Amino acid sequence: MNRSIAGLLLLSVCGVAAAQSLYNEAGWRGLTADNKAFRTGDVLTVQVFENSTAVSSADTGTRRANALRGELAHGSSEAARAALALSGEFDGGGRTQRASRLLTTVSVTVQEVLPGGQLRIAGAQSVTVNDELQRVTLEGLVRPVDISDGNVVQSTRIAGARITYVGEGDVTDRGRRSWWRKLLDTVGF
């Protein structure tokens, strides 16, 4: 009897033992499952294949002529005559054309898994070539079905893709117009 009372007292002092499983259902993948990104923090490879072309042109032409004449007469003789004529012509036009192509591979991470299963991804990559820093940033939404068995997705399959490619260095600086040239263009020279 003393032993059973001592056992009950010991159980009441120690409390109820809780056990946790080593099995995590949210992160479990089968041994034969694909190695695709599916949760926050997973890495995904994006192949960026972007081509863009833009052409814009405008032509303008105006012509105008105005004439004003007046006579002052006294009786049958002409006392004074005046004339004023104004005319002007303007022909202008412009054309811009730009083409760009970006081919790269960027590793990004899954930032969030949305309720519908889409993955919000984001990442950046910096490369320096000949003292020219080139930075690519990428973000958007990916459907899990668009991810290949090799854990790769093409940039054309990213919804709301925001891809930025920026270069910094001597080559980029030489490609930009100088401040005094911008000033002259603003003034009209």
Q: How does pLDDT run across 11-47, given as a tens digit for each residue?
A: 666 655 566 766 666 666 666 566 787 888 899 999 9
The percentage of residues in the chain with a pLDDT greater than 90, rounded to a whole number, is 25
pLDDT at residue 7, as a whole number:
65
pLDDT at residue 12, as a whole number:
66
Model confidence at 85, in pLDDT bands (50, 70, 90)?
A: confident
Calpha distance 155→138 (Å, rounded)? 9
Calpha distance 113→121 (Å, rounded)? 9
Q: Where are the alpha helices (DSSP H) in the chain?
A: 2-14, 170-175, 179-187
pLDDT at residue 57, as a whole number:
78
Residue 8 has pLDDT above 70, yes or no: no
Model confidence at 103, in pLDDT bands (50, 70, 90)?
A: confident
| Among the listed residues 164, 166, 162, 142, the one whose alpha carbon sits nearest the alpha carbon of residue 154 | 142
- Quick one: average pLDDT of 34-63? 82
Residue 86 has pLDDT above 80, yes or no: no
| Among the listed residues 116, 115, 117, 123, the one whose alpha carbon sits nearest the alpha carbon of residue 140 | 123
84 CB-side CA count, 13 A: 2
pLDDT in tens, 138-176: 999 999 999 998 899 999 999 999 998 887 766 555 666
H and E: helices and strands count for the chain: 3, 6
Calpha distance 153→122 (Å, rounded)? 13
| Among the listed residues 159, 156, 105, 168, the one whose alpha carbon sits nearest the alpha carbon of residue 132 | 168
Instruction: Please tell me whether the overall predicted TM-score, pTM, comes out greater than 0.85 for this model.
Output: no
- The average confidence (pLDDT) of the chain is 79
pLDDT at residue 176, as a whole number:
64
